[in-house]
Amino acid sequence: MRKTYYITTPIYYASGDLHIGHSYTTLAADAISRYKRLRGYEVFFLTGTDEHGLKIQRKAESVGLEPKEFVDGIVAKIKDLWRVLDVRYDGFIRTTDDEHKRTVQWVFKQLYDNGDIYKRNYESWYCVGCESFYTETQARSFPEMVCPDHGKPLERVKEESYFFRLSKYADRLLRHIEENPDFIQPVSRRNEVVQFVKMGLEDLCISRTTFRWGIPVPFDPGSVVYVWIDALTNYISAMGYPFDMERFEKWWPADVHLIGKEILRFHAVIWPILLMALDLPLPKQVFAHGWLNLGGKKMSKTMGNVVDPIELSRKYSLDAVRYFVLREVPFGADGDYTEEALVARINSDLANDLGNLVYRTLTMVRRFTESRVPEPGREEPVDKEFKDRCLALKQAVEEEMDRLRLSSALERVMDVVGKANKYIDEVSPWDLAKNDASRLGTALYYLCEGLRITASVLRPFLVNTPSLIWSALGMPESMDNYSWDSAGDWGIVRPGQVTRRGKPLFPRIEFEDATDGSDAESAEVSAKRKAAGEAGTEAVGSQAGRGKERGLAERAGGQTGTKEAVAVAQDKLSQGADMQVGASQKDEANVITIDQFRQVELRVAQVLSAEKVQGADKLLRLKVSLGDEERQIVAGIAQHYDPQELVGKQIVIAYNLKPAVIRGVESKGMLLASKDDETLAVLTVDRKVKNGSPVS
């Protein structure tokens, strides 16, 4: 009998269209679900909608609709969003479903009969937007008594209500958290909940009489059940509780509730205490992730600062959006969304690293072995090292995914992609093709196997790209026929199978194209390319380098050199990488005039400080002195230099480049460096000169 895995998202409030912040939670749940299915689990992935409350009642009235008619329209849009994002949920629950209503009323009556619910008068401040009550002290701490999340004035509410004895279970909840350290994750959220509970819990208002759009209290039809028992109960009503206990016991307790940190207390305090009162097991884990912010502020339907994920998917591709959402921010932390960051991530990871690797590999197979995967021949240490890195990838991804570290899992994948690009440069198949057919076969076969393994472990995250890589490799069977464990095997690609090099998986995107030329960066990129004499060269993100004629320009990942050295360096600047330029070009089309060269103003600068850019593995932030001014420069050299190693050095920078924002950090200039197959070296002067001195 297969092991089961029950994962949930919050049920989303059906008051308006969802945005990329909501998609963050659901895409994470989808990736985890896909991963668990690949690992052999029987998975149930639940999502849905919370459809009751005063806010929805008022919204429906404002557009002349009945509440049910209003939420039906919203639910249709939400389901369409999940269809566009290819979210494969197993259950979609609505709090207006009859079975859910029946469970809610049963739970309410059970708690009342057990003495855990009582009735009394209640007066408090209330926010319609977040359906939260605030004490007098809390309300007066807000500027002008306006809800800090929704920007709406609080309303004074006075009514007779039913209360749940939340305070009765506080000590029991603290014991459970202490005895089950993984119950609330990340650790910072667990500590937050512990401190909150230790400050003392008040009994919870769980009914309302001031609006009608809700589930009636079973023995008091003048009251409706408030959100806590209504919405939270969805996790067990969807599993049949209490009317289908065989189904319920198969799936409960949930393995993980994925939620945003703003609803942590509801899920880590109120929900487990409700379950304790019902004498039911608690979920194994509540994981509260951070926010995907816009302009430093939480996205909010009420505030209107939202990004439409459907529009993004149509503009940049589904896999690009999925990759960005899952990779950009460590799961659990806050992060900022910008379209510039999305384009930079597409270009650096998907176009220049993954897409380029596929294109380079299949181009060499076509050129050197007539598109057929060759027999592997003699294995040298460099080949074995690459093979071992590929074979270790599956376990590395498992270790990260089992801890819900989705961004780190993708980072492990891209590490191997980077290693593969470096492997090409190390073994130089174009040279082996001249005099060592055995080693050529090994190199090309190992690259094809590396691509197969990469495609296999990308399946939880990307929905189209893995099968495209699989097909390009000429695999004879669908990848659905291959288990997750096959990613840990070697030798599955068959010598002789015919590869198919198609179009680039992820063509590079110029940011000016993405913004219709409205961003100032577009003019900057054009000017830099003109100054570099880039005409007639190819972008590395969409074409493979031909290896033998590799230049010295350093790509922002520090992995692949190509003959289009200057073009690569200039190309990368548009996505926020540093440029380290120094190449010898034989192609007459790449010759520049002295006037073109003079357009680039080079100066000597002294490094005053250096530090890593948060959230960027390859970037350093340098503060440099040019004598009469100081500047900040961002450079993709973190994998080659310890920050403190650079302090005090006099380096050479391109001075007259227009400032660019790289991963949210402004960069005013570009350092120069040289790179061979193994080493990157920042250009310095061989004796001390005045900071700011020109270089000619």
Residues designated catalytic = 19, 22, 127, 130, 147, 150, 298, 301
- Within a 10 A sphere around the Cβ of 148, how many other Cβ atoms? 10
Helix (H) or strand (E) holding 81, with range, is helix 67-84
Long-range contacts of 390-396 (CB under 8 A, 24+ apart): 390/416, 390/420, 390/446, 390/449, 390/450, 390/453, 390/454, 390/490, 391/453, 391/488, 391/490, 393/453, 393/454, 393/457, 393/487, 394/453, 394/456, 394/457, 394/484, 394/485, 394/487, 394/488, 395/488
Dihedral pair phi/psi, residue 446, rounded to 5°: -65, -35
State the maximum Cα–Cα separation within the chain, in Å, rounded to a whole number: 90
Contact 75, 215 (CB under 8 A): no
Q: What is the DSSP pairing of strand 292-294 with strand 297-298?
A: antiparallel
Helices (H), ranges, 291-354:
309-316, 318-327, 339-345
Q: Is residue 118 helix, strand or coil?
A: strand
The CA-to-CA distance between both ends of the chain, in Å, stands at 74
Q: Is residue 221 helix, strand or coil?
A: strand
Q: Which residue has the tokens 């999305």?
A: 342
In our burial notation (b when 16+ CB lie closer than 10 A, e otherwise), range 592-611 reads beeeeeeebebbbbbbbebe
Task: Enumerate residues 6+ apart whose C-beta is below 8 A from 491.
Answer: 449
Task: Enumerate residues 6+ apart whose C-beta is below 8 A from 221.
Answer: none
How far from 113 is each of 101, 109, 116, 633, CA to CA, in Å?
A: 18, 6, 8, 67
